[in-house]
Structure 1
Amino acid sequence: MALSKKDRRQEKILAALDRNPSMRVSELAETLDVSSETIRRDLTHLDDAGRINRTYGGAVRGQVSEPHLAERLGQHVEARQAIARTAMNLIGEAETIFIGGGATTLHFARALRSTTRRLTVLTPAHRVAAELSENPNIQIMCLPGVYDGKEGLVTGPETLAAIRRFYTPVAFMGASGVDAGGVSEAMLGPSEVYRAMIECSQVAYVLADQSKFDRRSLRYITGWTEGIHLVTDAAPAAELLERLKAGNAGLHLSYVSQAPASF
């Protein structure tokens, strides 16, 4: 059965919220070329159906959050392992680094277990700490905070305060979304933690496979500026590539079957 005009419009609303998970009524009305009253009625219907969450003046897509860490670990494994190997070469001479949470950073931690150099790692991610604990050359500082068992990391005021006590040459973190506007995160707590890590490091490497391209999640944690580097497994599309170059951000490509490239 063909979709009704109303159903088609509501599917377009959901698609718009997938591209920009937090949109105001006025933005949706302009995008779909309908009245604000029509959008409000549609949002109420979608909210009642559990497909979105209404906010003051707009809506948030109900399915914008990422799958749990355990599920993500089984996705894009080969690409993430290649990214992890490239990231190993980006530590440089740093003796202390931040490592965030997430699936790709956990692959990075697994690769880092083989290092023979002495290194201090500060991390909010307990699974990252557990992986690195197998290497006696790595000293691990687990940051304090409120623990999220599904993501295996801590967040909150205590975590932010601890991060701001330190300054490291290099930080490594994942991302829920990567687009021309910058790097975004689906969860508020981790987004604050990763933003603090960027502020307290000289260089930040964002480890994100191509499945994160052209996705914007709930909150931006950084734009493309000098000191921000994208480490990924495929060349970005033209718009993102131009933003990287315009902001003097870095790009490091980790092709699975080819030698890595950088600018």
Structure 2
Amino acid sequence: MAAGPGRYSKRVRRQQDILQILAQEPTMRVKALAARLEVTTETIRRDLEELAEQGLISRTYGGAMLRAEAEPALSQRERELVKEREAIARSAFRQCAHGKTFMIGSGATTAILAKRLAFELRNVTVIAHSFAVAMALAQNPTIRIIMAPGIYHAGEGAMHGAQTIRFLQDYAADWAILGASALSPDGPSDALFEAADVYGTMLRQASHNMIVADHSKFDRMATARYAQWSEIETLVSDRRPEGPLMRALERREVQFILAEG
């Protein structure tokens, strides 16, 4: 029997309530949601499945988490949270300042960190796939920039694809420095499959690694996870995560650095 209009509107309102709850408490369990909304766990599971089909949430073991919103183009992201990203770059630089060879992923925060490297370091080598990162480094003529080939992604201003991956596999680095579209208890992820493939390769080719990401990425899941937290050494951000995300970092012994300023 088809649901009547009253039942349909009630379900829609309940699902809107679920999204509002997840915005405040990002990793809610099914039982907790059922108790909060005074419905059965079966009803909540059906709601979560519908929301997941719409791409609004991601199911987790026993619960759900909001999906990261679609990322705008890099040119727009570069105008957001600038002070926070600059603070992250300053703190991240202190961790990797003794490196001689770097692999740097694309992103607004990594581009700011590249400017810091250009200002502070001399005679280092950086392997990049992002034109924003390469242009920031080009301010320092002593830095050797190796640009990865591949298929150009206009929105990200970076090279991706099989050719990029094969190119990176021929190099090794002291540090891989990466951004992320989202950070969940399961690991960092990116909105672009192609970028996630590049980031995963950079991680495997580097002796040390670091993720630089602002607090807006916390407790979200994006399309493609590129690592588990057990593979990550350091996370630098402008706020300290809480709840399941922080517990995951502690359990996997990820060094968390709170950016100063």
> Residue 202 of structure 1 contacts residue 227 of structure 1 at CA under 8 Å; is this kept in 2?
no
Q: Find the counterpart in structure 2 of residue 88 from structure 1.
A: 93
**Sequence identity of aligned pairs in percent?**
32
After the TM superposition, which of the residue ranges 240-249 and 202-211 deviates more from structure 2? 240-249
Letter in 2 for 1:33: E
CA distance, structure 2, for counterparts of residue 37 and residue 212 of structure 1: 27
Question: Which amino acid in structure 1 is aligned with residue 234 of structure 2?
Answer: H
- For 1:193 and 1:32, the matched residues in 2 are separated by 40
Instruction: Provide the aligned C-alpha RMSD in A.
Output: 3.2
Which residue pairs with 1:157 in the alignment?
A: 162
Report which of the two has the higher share of helix. 2
Provide the secondary structure at the position in 2 that maps to 1:183.
strand
Between Structure 1 and Structure 2, how many residues are aligned?
Answer: 233
Q: What per-residue deviation string (whole Å, max 9, x for no partner) do you get for residues 197-256 of structure 1?
A: 111111111001111111111121111126521011111114322222221221111131
5 Å-filtered alignment, 1:178-257, equals: 178-225=183-230, 227-256=232-261
Kindly state the Cα deviation for residue 93 of structure 1 after the two structures are TM-superposed. Answer: 2.6
* Distance change (3 Å), C-alpha of 1:250 and 1:38: closer
Aligned counterparts, 1:29-178, within 5 A: 33-34=42-43, 64-178=69-183
Q: Relative to 1, partners in 2 of residues 1:132 and 1:15: Cα closer, same or farther, differing over 3 Å?
A: same
Structure 1 gaps of 5+ residues are: 21-30, 53-60, 257-263
Paired with 1:248 and 1:97, the residues of 2 have a C-alpha distance of 23
Structure 1 residue identity aligned to 2:175:
V
For residue 229 of structure 2, give the secondary structure of its aligned residue in structure 1: coil
TM-score under structure 1 length normalisation: 0.77
Further displaced range: 78-87 or 61-70 = 61-70
- C-alpha contact (below 8 Å) 1:169/1:203 kept by paired residues: yes
**TM-score normalized by the length of structure 2:** 0.78
CA contact under 8 A between 2:218 and 2:241: conserved in structure 1?
Answer: yes
**In 2, Cα distance between the equivalents of 1:186 and 1:93?**
31
CA displacement at 1:74 relative to structure 2: 1.1
